C-alpha cells in the first residue's frame, strides 16, 4: 500500500475554497485515490475517489496530475461544518473485496468565521 | 442506502470483564467487514478483517484471543473485547464493504471506557 503524506493541519475561513494536497510518490498502477472526512467521535465518511485527471461530485473535486504522485482535494466555499479531519488513502480497488484501508495521519481542517 | 450501525455507541465496563460490540449493515449485505481502533487525536488503525462464514484475519500485533470477531451473517459482525483493561479504552469503528467490493461504509463508532 502506497504511503501518503498530508499537512497535519490547515486553517481557513468560511466561504473560502480549501485545497488539501496529498503526496503519494509510490502509487502503483492499479491504485485509486480516495478521500474520507471524519468528525470527532464519528466514523469516517467517503468524500470522493479518483484515478486520474479530475473528479467532481456534489461536495468536492479531486485533482490528480498526470504522474499521479500527488492529489488535491478541493472543497469549495467551506463552512464551519467542514471542520474535520480529512484522510487521503491510496490503494488497489479490488472488485472482489477484501480491500484493506491504511489511514495516514490526516489533515485537521479548521474553518473559522 | 449503505448504512452501517454499531451498538452500543458507548460503553463503560470494569477491568477484567468482556464487552461485545455489534456492527450491522442495515440495507446491504457485506461479505467483508473491518474493525478499526482509534485513540484520541490519532488515526484509525486496522485491527482485523472479518469475513462471513470464516475466521477473521488479524493485523500484526493484534491479539486474536483478546479481540474475538464473529461474522455469523452477511449483515452482522461482532467484536468482543475479552478481559478488558484500561489500555483497551478506545474508539472502535467498523466498516462494511459494499456490493462492488471496493466501497467501504463506516459505522458511527463505539466509545469503550474501561475503568
The confidence score (pLDDT) of residue B68 equals 96
- CA atoms of A11 and B4, how far apart (whole Å): 31
With an 8 Å Cβ cutoff, is A41 touching chain B?
Answer: yes
With an 8 Å Cβ cutoff, is A46 touching chain B?
Answer: yes
- Residue B86 clears pLDDT 90, i.e. is over it: yes
Longest alpha-carbon distance in chain B = 41
Band (pLDDT 50/70/90 cuts) for residue A14 is: very high
Nearest to B44 among A45, A98, A103 (CB): A103
Residues of B with CB under 8 A from a CB of A: 4, 6, 31-32, 34, 36, 43-46, 49, 51, 91, 93-95, 97, 100-109, 111
B58 to chain A: closest CA residue: A100
- CA atoms of B64 and B53, how far apart (whole Å): 17
Band (pLDDT 50/70/90 cuts) for residue B57 is: very high
- Give the CA dihedral A70, B102, A2, A72, nearest 10 degrees: 10
The confidence score (pLDDT) of residue A98 equals 66
What is the per-residue pLDDT across A58-113, written as a single tens digit (0 to 9) for each?
Answer: 999 999 999 999 999 999 999 999 999 999 998 877 655 667 888 888 999 999 99
- CA atoms of A44 and A36, how far apart (whole Å): 6
Amino acid at each position: 500500500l502506497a504511503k501518503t503524506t498530508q499537512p497535519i493541519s490547515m486553517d481557513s475561513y468560511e466561504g473560502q475554497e480549501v485545497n488539501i494536497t496529498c503526496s503519494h510518490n509510490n502509487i502503483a498502477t492499479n491504485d485509486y485515490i480516495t478521500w474520507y472526512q471524519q468528525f470527532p467521535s464519528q466514523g469516517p465518511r467517503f468524500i470522493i475517489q479518483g484515478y486520474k485527471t479530475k473528479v467532481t461530485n456534489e461536495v468536492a473535486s479531486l485533482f490528480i496530475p498526470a504522474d499521479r504522485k500527488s492529489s488535491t482535494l478541493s472543497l469549495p466555499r467551506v463552512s464551519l461544518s467542514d471542520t474535520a479531519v480529512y484522510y487521503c488513502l491510496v490503494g488497489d480497488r479490488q472488485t472482489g473485496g477484501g480491500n484493506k484501508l491504511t489511514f495516514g495521519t490526516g489533515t485537521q481542517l479548521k474553518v473559522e468565521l | 442506502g449503505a448504512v452501517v450501525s454499531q451498538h452500543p455507541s458507548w460503553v463503560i465496563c470494569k477491568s477484567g470483564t468482556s464487552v461485545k460490540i455489534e456492527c450491522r449493515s442495515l440495507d446491504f449485505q457485506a461479505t467483508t467487514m473491518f474493525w478499526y481502533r482509534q485513540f484520541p487525536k490519532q488515526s484509525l488503525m486496522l485491527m482485523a478483517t472479518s469475513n462471513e462464514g470464516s475466521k477473521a484475519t488479524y493485523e500484526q500485533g493484534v491479539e486474536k484471543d483478546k479481540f474475538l470477531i464473529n461474522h455469523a451473517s452477511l449483515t452482522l459482525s461482532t467484536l468482543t473485547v475479552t478481559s478488558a483493561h484500561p489500555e483497551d479504552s478506545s474508539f472502535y469503528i467498523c466498516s462494511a464493504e459494499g456490493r462492488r467490493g471496493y466501497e467501504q461504509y463506516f459505522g458511527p463508532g463505539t466509545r469503550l471506557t474501561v475503568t
